[in-house]
Each structure stands twice: as structure tokens, then as C-alpha cells.
Amino acid sequence: MNILWLFAHPEHRSLNASLRDDGIRALRAAGHEVRQSDLYAMGFKAVLDADDYTDDYTDDDAAGTTAGDRLLVGDAQEDAWRAGSVAPDIAAEHEKLAWADALVVHFPLWWFGPPAILKGWFDRVLVQGLASKVKDAEGRTRRYGDGGLAGRRAIVVTSVGAREASFGPRGIHGHIDEVLWPLHHGTFFYTGMAPLPPFVVYGADRLTREDYPPVAEALRERLRGLWTTAPLPYRPERGGGYDEGLELRPELAQGARGLSIHSAPPAPAPAHPPTSTSPRTRPRVGGPADNASDNASDNASDNASVPPQAPASGGRPLPVRAEGTPVRAR
């Protein structure tokens, strides 16, 4: 199985960095191929702007990139993607997406969302034509359970400073499933990926060295089920549950409102993961031609440092960061 680990944390002596290293070692020891996008280490550009597109347009381009015209972001993205002229850092991420069977999206939860650099990755990399406004043979838009990234799985790994109960069904911060809804439903599921239940480390700032080993083992256990864990049971747009206005039909979840009505009984998980020697068929990606706190420290969800762990070599080369620096064996 080919796995892209998308990592967004500025401190490489942090709890999250240690979990990332342990997780990658566990996946490789199980025979999976792992590549990484360490966004802070890469210096990834977080801001989508005209510089991503305008150098490749002529004065008469219909996308509106001539002097004095407004930039139509979606059109500019799709034109550049179809022409194979996206910025080099975006093209490198498209190549990783084309290769990947699954994504691990790993970040500390800051102000009820991911760090800005990760949001910028979604803005710049999940371009129109690849991840949104993807059409089927009949010209219908593929989204919410289908799309340009269909066939892949995605899991969030995150940390929060607050206690678990405060992110529970009656917690003051809101249920963690709803806090992560924009990512799970609005990004993963929208683009066709199967979103898995998240792995959340609660009380991250209070975690001690003695607390770390069971947390790391819990992550390794979740990663062992990367292909067998049932996805979050969201209703697909074309599953018959929505009317032409994309409103849930009245006979479903009668009388209920809110985000939970968009979940249905889960479908069975696949029996076996794909392997790197038997790659699955997937659409071409490269282009055609806590924030919340219960004390003062909780707002910074991970500043803890944990002891390095001995590597499990397994006789395989270390994965290499996009900027060429090997992942530390810790």
C-alpha cells in the first residue's frame, strides 16, 4: 500500500513529530511504501495567489489573467493543470497524490482547524479539474463519495490541549466529529476519498514521557487497520438520499437536523489492501495532454517533547522528505 504522510507542525522535537516518526516506521515495517510532505520543513508556500498561474497565460487568455483583469482562481487552476503548467511545488504534490493509496493528514488542532500551511496545501494542491468540478461521462459533477481522488483513504492524526470529555457529545468545544467535519466531509469525502475515524491525542500539553508509549502503540494499532477500518458512514450524493436541491429527502432521518443526518449505516470495509506490486487503477492526477482551551496552556495543542525511539530498520531505505532530507531515525 502506498501512503502519503502529510505533516504540518513547526517543531521536530514535538509530540507530533515523534508520533509521525513512529507511525512511518510501523507502516514500513508492515511492508507499506511511505512518502512524506513535511510542509514546514519544505517551506511550502501556504498562500494561493496569481503567481501560481499568471506566468503561463497569454494576453488573450479567457481565464481573466491579463493585466487589469481579475483572477478567476478555479479556471486558472484547471487551465494550468490541464496544460501541465502548474507551479513546480504543486506538480510535485500532484505526483505524490497520483502514487498514493491513502493519506495520513497529521497536524495539531489550532483554533478548531489545521495550521494555515496545511490549509494552503489544500487550497493550492486540490485544484479544480482534479479535486473539484470533476465530471463524469454524462457531464455530471462527481463529488461527495465520488471524485478525482476516489479510491483513496484518508485519516486525520491530530492533537488537542483540552480533555477528551470536552470534545465529546456534550462537551463545550463541540463533538470532535463535528469539529473535523470541514476536513472529513468537505475535503476528503467531497473529493471522493474515504474518510476514516480520526486519531486524536487529547490533553497533549499534559502528556508525560511515561504517557507516550501507549499513545504511540495506539497510533500503530490504528495504522494497522488503515485498509480494514470502516470509513465514516457519510451519505453519498448519488446514493438516492438527496433531492435535486441536494437536500436530504424527508423520509430519511425524519425530524432530525444538523450534521449527523448526513451519516448512514456504514458499508463493509474491503477485505484486503492494495499492494505496491499490484497497484490499483486510479484516475491520473498529474493533469491531462486546540485550539479550544480549558486552561491557559490548551490553546497551543502540542509543545511537548518526548524521548526518541529506536528505529526499526526492516532493511528498507528511510523515506525521503520532499526537500531531500531523510526522515530522522529516532
| Domain harbouring 102, CATH code | 3.40.50.360
What's the confidence (pLDDT) of residue 134?
A: 86
Cα separation, 114 vs 9, whole angstroms: 10
What's the confidence (pLDDT) of residue 68?
A: 53
State pTM to two decimals: 0.77
Indicate the burial class of 121 (C-beta count within 10 angstroms; 0-12, 13-18, 19 or more). Answer: buried
Cα separation, 34 vs 25, whole angstroms: 9
- Partners of residue 312 on adjacent β-strands: none
Q: Which residues, other chains included, contact 314 with Cβ-Cβ below 8 Å and sequence gap of 6+?
A: 28, 29
Cα separation, 262 vs 51, whole angstroms: 38
What's the confidence (pLDDT) of residue 265?
A: 67
What's the confidence (pLDDT) of residue 171?
A: 92
Residue 181 included in any domain: yes
What's the confidence (pLDDT) of residue 56?
A: 44
Tell me which amino acid residue 6 is. Answer: L
Residue 295 grid cell: 486552561
Taking alpha carbons only, the member of 179, 194, 192 closest to residue 273 is 194
- Residue carrying C-alpha cell 470509513: 231
141-142 and 134-135 as β-strands: parallel, antiparallel, unpaired? antiparallel
What's the confidence (pLDDT) of residue 277?
A: 42
Cα separation, 153 vs 87, whole angstroms: 26
Residue 37 included in any domain: yes
Residue 62 included in any domain: yes
Residue 276 included in any domain: no
- Partners of residue 132 on adjacent β-strands: 128
Residue 289 included in any domain: no
Per DSSP, helices labelled H in the chain are 15-29, 39-42, 73-83, 88-99, 116-125, 176-179, 181-183, 212-224
- Partners of residue 103 on adjacent β-strands: 4, 154
Taking alpha carbons only, the member of 147, 129, 141, 150 closest to residue 288 is 129
Residue 236 grid cell: 453519498
- Partners of residue 155 on adjacent β-strands: 104
Count up the domains in the chain and report the number: 1
Local structure of residue 210 (DSSP, 8 states): T
Taking alpha carbons only, the member of 99, 105, 36, 93 closest to residue 325 is 36
Indicate the helix (H) or strand (E) that contains 214: helix 212-224
Cα separation, 308 vs 179, whole angstroms: 31
Domain encompassing residue 12: 2-231
Taking alpha carbons only, the member of 34, 194, 61, 297 closest to residue 53 is 61
Residue 173 included in any domain: yes
Rounded average pLDDT per 10-residue block, the chain, 330 residues: 96 92 96 96 93 59 56 85 87 94 96 96 92 86 89 95 91 93 94 95 90 94 93 88 88 86 70 52 47 38 41 31 33
Residue 251 included in any domain: no
Residue 244 included in any domain: no
